[in-house]
């Protein structure tokens, strides 16, 4: 059996190497990703949407992470067909949970645009290979044009050819974009309020995992007071995500960047004031301007370069962040123990080892919050665009 599996995997890898890497893929292309089972078949439905979940013994921490209201039932009746020791959770709305087969392999076929090959068949346990694939993507190894991905800041409305040029801000010549350094860290090139020629690492790359693409399918607005509602779809299509820890705390970000015109964008990139709070509002996920309480640099997120989020711009990718979050968003910025934070759940917001070499379905279930940094509301803010390295 093992020989058959390895032969199949080798064939998939060879086939993927023959594919031509291209800028943007359609839904049909992306649907070619998924888990490889023990027979070498592709399984694409390992995430499901449901309002009922069953667990034996310990309830996983993602199952009660403030997604929606829920009711926990123990001592399931014998006529239910389930063991009496099982626990049932009923949610007020559907949630995404793992739907893994009984005997899965450790290999997944993932789509990673701009890496050396479009598709990769890789073990979720192979953290070194996943790290390399992430670096291949951000450095655009599929193209031999000498360009890499850089990320424009929020209000940097320069076009694709000059967004990395110097800008004149109040008589100062400053840059206003982010680049990936050789280690994969994200560096802001425009300094802060007092040092506009300083290059500042804002997020540190610490590893990579397999995650799903998420797609914004509807956005609506209300005013007085302003509210924004996003409907996010888990596509079930697999890619690589880079795990990043903060290099600047939210309190430091407020002092160094907030209120300084274009530097407000750097503050947003750290504080993510547009993070989706997974509460339901008339069938739509409610999104408000709560702050992620990144009171230390240990807090982390998984960044995804998303072809669904490129706002129609060829050769560009959207920037999304997924993360676990247990606070209720009502505390003042930067407090050391926000409501909802406990010694038990803080590691899920700070410890990359919880996610590295973990089965992707479980990773997705833990990363319950989504921030779509890129949208057309402010000049395609934070769009990942081809540019020069620094």
Tens digit of each residue's pLDDT (9 = 90 or more) over 134-193: 999 999 999 978 899 999 998 888 888 899 999 887 778 899 999 999 999 999 999 999
Most confident of 76-90, 255-269, 298-312: 298-312
What total number of domains does the chain contain? 2
CA distance 324 to 364: 10
Among 98, 132, 161, give the residue marking a domain's end. 98
Q: How many CB atoms lie within 10 A of CB 230?
A: 19
Q: What is the DSSP letter of 15?
A: H
Both 230 and 376 in a single domain?
yes
Whether 111 is in a domain gets the answer: no
Which pLDDT does position 213 carry in this prediction? 96
Both 369 and 328 in a single domain?
yes
Place of tokens 């407000």: 264
* Average pLDDT score, the chain: 83
pLDDT in tens, 298-356: 999 999 999 999 988 899 999 999 999 888 767 767 778 888 889 999 999 999 999 99
Both 78 and 158 in a single domain?
no
* pTM of the model as a whole: 0.86
Both 278 and 347 in a single domain?
yes
Whether 306 is in a domain gets the answer: yes
Both 77 and 132 in a single domain?
no
Among 81, 98, 115, give the residue marking a domain's end. 98
Both 217 and 355 in a single domain?
yes
Whether 199 is in a domain gets the answer: yes
Whether 338 is in a domain gets the answer: yes
Both 60 and 195 in a single domain?
no
Residue 114 makes CB contacts below 8 A (sequence gap 6+) with 21, 23, 136, 137, 140, 141, 142, 143, 149, 305, 317
DSSP SS3 for 7: helix
* Residues constituting the chain: 390
Whether 103 is in a domain gets the answer: no
Both 160 and 85 in a single domain?
no
Task: Give the range of the structural domain holding residue 199, as residue numbers without chain letter.
Answer: 123-387
Which pLDDT does position 123 carry in this prediction? 98
Count Cα atoms within 13 angstroms, Cβ side, for 176.
27
Residue 10 phi, psi (nearest 5): -60, -40
Both 203 and 81 in a single domain?
no
Whether 320 is in a domain gets the answer: yes
Whether 25 is in a domain gets the answer: no
Among 98, 132, 160, give the residue marking a domain's end. 98
Encoding tokens for residue 381?
A: 């803010």
Both 77 and 169 in a single domain?
no
Whether 213 is in a domain gets the answer: yes
Both 80 and 186 in a single domain?
no
Which pLDDT does position 7 carry in this prediction? 45
Both 90 and 155 in a single domain?
no
Picking from 202, 206, 200, 164, the residue whose alpha carbon sits closest to that of residue 183 is: 206
């Amino acid at each position: 059996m093992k020989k058959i599996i390895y032969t199949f995997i080798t064939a998939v890898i060879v086939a993927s190497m023959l594919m031509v890497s291209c800028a943007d893929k359609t839904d049909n292309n992306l649907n070619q990703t998924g888990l490889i089972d023990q027979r070498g078949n592709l399984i694409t439905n390992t995430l499901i949407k449901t309002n009922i979940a069953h667990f034996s013994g310990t309830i996983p921490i993602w199952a009660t992470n403030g997604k929606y209201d829920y009711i926990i039932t123990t001592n399931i009746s014998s006529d239910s067909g389930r063991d009496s020791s099982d626990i049932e959770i009923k949610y007020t709305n559907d949630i995404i949970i793992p739907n893994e087969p009984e005997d899965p392999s450790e290999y997944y076929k993932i789509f990673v645009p701009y890496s050396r090959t479009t598709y990769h068949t890789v073990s979720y346990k192979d953290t070194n290979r996943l790290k390399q694939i992430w670096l291949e993507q951000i450095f655009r190894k599929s193209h031999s044009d000498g360009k890499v991905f850089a990320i424009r800041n929020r209000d940097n409305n320069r076009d694709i050819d000059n967004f990395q040029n110097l800008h004149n801000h109040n008589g100062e010549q400053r840059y206003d974009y982010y680049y990936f350094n050789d280690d994969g860290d994200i560096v802001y090139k425009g300094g802060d309020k007092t040092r506009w020629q300083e290059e500042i690492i804002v997020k540190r790359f610490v590893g990579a995992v397999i995650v799903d693409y998420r797609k914004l399918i509807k956005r609506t607005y209300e005013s007085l007071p302003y509210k924004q509602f996003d409907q996010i779809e888990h596509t079930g299509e697999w890619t690589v995500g880079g795990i990043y820890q903060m290099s600047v705390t939210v309190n430091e970000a407020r002092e160094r960047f907030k209120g300084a015109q274009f530097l407000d964008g750097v503050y947003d990139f750290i504080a993510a004031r547009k993070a989706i709070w997974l509460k339901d509002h008339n069938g739509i996920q409610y999104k408000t301007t709560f702050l992620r309480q990144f009171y230390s640099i240990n807090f982390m997120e998984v960044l995804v370069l998303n072809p669904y989020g490129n706002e129609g711009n060829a050769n560009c990718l959207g920037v999304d962040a997924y993360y676990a979050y247990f606070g209720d968003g009502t505390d003042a910025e930067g407090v050391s123990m926000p409501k909802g934070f406990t010694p038990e759940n803080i590691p899920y917001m700070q410890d990359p080892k919880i996610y590295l070499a973990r089965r992707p379905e479980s990773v997705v279930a833990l990363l319950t919050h989504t921030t779509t940094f890129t949208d057309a509301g402010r000049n395609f803010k934070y769009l990942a665009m081809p540019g020069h390295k620094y």
